[in-house]
Structure 1
């Protein structure tokens, strides 16, 4: 009887490790591919139901009938419940204006975006990369606003959001806040950089995760932000790396301390963040600008872009802020923050599963009154 032996050769052990890593990567790729194919199938089934006008053609019991027939032909399949079929139809209706353009010879304008065949294909690849549970949530929340749904789908893929994070970001109205900071980026940055820099701004910033209530001072707020640094980074947006708080710079014979210093890997630049618990004042621009100039001289490396400043205040007069920005040669954004919107402590399970919805529906008697 042959006995197994332990091979201790380093090349062999490294090869085994590489094989394990490659196997795990192939599993991930296979799972992603399967997910994309299933989402594609759901979309196409939704399209079939819409194009056939199935409910009109086959009556109000259509979804129950199709569910029964599909599950009879596909034992063990759990995706063909009446509720899920309805989601599939609504999934098609939500995104069809973006995706079905490829069937038409001419360009079409959706809002201010010209949708070409190439863009539609890019959107298709994006949509089919989002997990179905995320889509169900977006279908419920954005049924009358496909542009908003597409925004959250794009952010989900870009950042790898879980459904809990998606719910958080939707709950803070990210669609309405992103890119809305008052800035002078067009004047102070090259065009390509200014567009990307504008994209990372938000107005207002949502600091509800700090769970602070009045009264509080600036130090208490900054302590809370750093204590919740993971959520703070999520609120700041893509590509931020935390470098330090009260970051010390020696400027001549004096010391300067920046509130918070970050580096943004997408913009390839340092970002100085100043948080004020008071109304915006033009003097804040001068203070922040001096920190940014110092960072450019003392921290900026070859290949880094110009340092950007984010000034986050309790409130602001927009006209006053715009005038102050015009007076500065440094790229600065001015935004407000709010504490009112709190992040739920526990998000898992807050969306009912399809099976739970089905049980609730089946719990109703013939008169449509839910049983207790």
Structure 2
């Protein structure tokens, strides 16, 4: 009988770590190989620039020569992708070893330079998997953050050049919770939505933003003999404060805002330590009237945020319409 029961788990952990490292090394070498192939194709293409169709001919010729021996990774489509890879990331030292080839393929289809740089910075900073990066691109994270902040601020926070100063720098509006698996045509209670969030906590933390960790659910608050229950409590290490989330499956009312304000006040006066920043409250609601939010809260209130949630991802057209609407509102306020 083994004297040390941790021997097997320890060895399994060593094997898993070595395998993961080997996979990353192989993937990084593969990424560099594709970059070098793209570079060589581009250089050869430039020599025949006086022939308009030379690039097309070259890719087709290479595919015919390489694919039979090396497989589908050297098809016309893939070779064109390697050339594009080099053209977008033309400096080898700029390649991020933390990113896999699968992630680079997702980034190649993003035409906007700032948008691509944002996803690169966020992927590296948060150690996103390929699946997480895909989800954030598909849920239009960059555009949603632009609705509440300007381009330079969004990029600065992503690159760690600036620390968020208030809740609106990191909390998205709207939030998309398609990963919960709740159908929008179904009838459900707030406790159902809360339970679904707990079940899919990792995905919800990703949607919430950077620096969040879960503290508790249904936090009991005693106030002179009365009991109240805050739905979800998180802590944000970047902002160094508690974050209380109240879930409302109906259209937001001023009473909902008042209830959350009471929970925030309680945390500030009872739970918060002296070195911590004021508590943030998020009302996660099915629908809201921004005017009601504006006139219920004091002017310049930064610690209560109403964020509308969606149970499905928007189409690109819907998202562009929302961005256009936000920009128009912003211009009206400036005038």
Q: TM-score, normalised by structure 1?
A: 0.65
SS at match of 2:220: strand
Alpha-carbon contact 2:175-2:309 (below 8 Å) kept: yes
SS at match of 1:278: strand
Alpha-carbon contact 2:165-2:239 (below 8 Å) kept: no
Shift in Å at residue 146 of structure 1? 3.2
Look up the match of 1:175: 142
Work out whether 1:339 is the aligned partner of 2:333. no
1:1-372 alignment to 2 at 5 Å? 28-29=20-21, 31-53=23-45, 56=49, 58=54, 60-67=56-63, 79-96=73-90, 124-126=94-96, 128-140=97-109, 142=110, 144-178=111-145, 180=147, 194-195=164-165, 197-208=167-178, 209-212=180-183, 213-301=185-273, 303-327=275-299, 329=301, 331-341=303-313
Shift in Å at residue 336 of structure 1? 1.0
SS at match of 1:304: coil
Alpha-carbon contact 2:214-2:234 (below 8 Å) kept: yes
- The answer for unaligned runs of 5 or more in structure 2 is 150-161, 315-335
Shift in Å at residue 264 of structure 1? 2.1
Look up the match of 2:326: none
Look up the match of 1:370: none
Distance, in Å, in 2 between the alignment partners of 1:193 and 1:254 is: 39
SS at match of 2:197: helix
Distance, in Å, in 2 between the alignment partners of 1:298 and 1:317 is: 31
Q: How many residues align?
A: 296
Distance, in Å, in 2 between the alignment partners of 1:196 and 1:62 is: 53
Distance, in Å, in 1 between the alignment partners of 2:293 and 2:137 is: 28
Distance, in Å, in 2 between the alignment partners of 1:193 and 1:161 is: 20
Distance, in Å, in 1 between the alignment partners of 2:59 and 2:273 is: 62
Shift in Å at residue 79 of structure 1? 4.5
**RMSD of aligned Cα (Å):** 3.7
- The answer for unaligned runs of 5 or more in structure 1 is 1-5, 101-120, 183-191, 343-372
Distance, in Å, in 2 between the alignment partners of 1:59 and 1:327 is: 60
> Residues 19 and 337 from structure 1, CA distance in 2 versus in 1: closer, same or farther, beyond 3 angstroms?
closer
Distance, in Å, in 1 between the alignment partners of 2:181 and 2:19 is: 38
Alpha-carbon contact 1:179-1:202 (below 8 Å) kept: no
Q: TM-score, normalised by structure 2?
A: 0.71
SS at match of 1:53: helix
SS at match of 1:60: helix
Alpha-carbon contact 1:45-1:89 (below 8 Å) kept: yes
SS at match of 1:152: helix
SS at match of 2:103: helix
Shift in Å at residue 173 of structure 1? 1.9
Distance, in Å, in 1 between the alignment partners of 2:87 and 2:55 is: 19
